[in-house]
Amino acid sequence: MKLYVTVKSLGKRKNVLTKIGIELPVVPTTLRELITEVVNVNVQELKDKQQSTQLIPFLTGAEIEARGENGKVGFGSVYNEQSPDVAKAVETALLAFEDGLYKVFIREEENSLLEAPLKLMEEDEIVFIRFTMLAGSLW
């Protein structure tokens, strides 16, 4: 199933990620399954990125411009060589959702219950809104 995912952070003016298409191997029927599948896809992409190496990394002018619009220009190198644990990543993502660190919107409707049934359609847009914690003192 092809879906489009957008991640936004309330502390930033621009989207952290623009609308990106992802392919899920199964059709999720609950929000819990959707979050699990999105995490699985992202962990697999990270593993693939860790295994692919370029001898001489370089960026084209278009890549520099595109990455500059997102706020970070880099080679996309992964410096952590540890293989990610899928189960722990899913557990962390679900806990973060339960703690209110991000919200999920499907077709511009908030989904707040992990076990509520979902009716996803091909090419639906899913928006994850991350909340940024403020740090500082009272004085």
- Tens-digit pLDDT profile for residues 10-55: 666 665 556 888 999 989 999 999 999 999 998 888 787 766 665 5
Give the mean model confidence (pLDDT) for residues 51-67.
68
pLDDT category of residue 80 using cuts at 50, 70 and 90: low
Percentage of the residues of the chain whose pLDDT score is greater than 90: 40
Average pLDDT over residues 63-73: 70
Q: Compute how many other C-beta atoms are within 10 angstroms of the C-beta atom of residue 136.
A: 5
The whole-angstrom separation of Cα 131 and Cα 10 is 6
pTM of the model: 0.72
Q: Is 8 helix (H, G, I), strand (E, B) or coil?
A: strand
Sheet holding 109-111: strands in order across? Answer: 17-23, 2-9, 125-130, 102-106, 109-111
Q: CA-CA distances (angstroms) from residue 82 to 13, 19, 45, 57, 63?
A: 33, 28, 14, 21, 27
Q: What is the pLDDT of residue 130?
A: 87
Q: How far apart are CA 8 and CA 15, in angstroms?
A: 5
Paired tokens of 83: 């293989």
Q: Write out the H or E segment, with its range, that includes residue 117.
A: none
The predicted structure's pLDDT at residue 28: 93
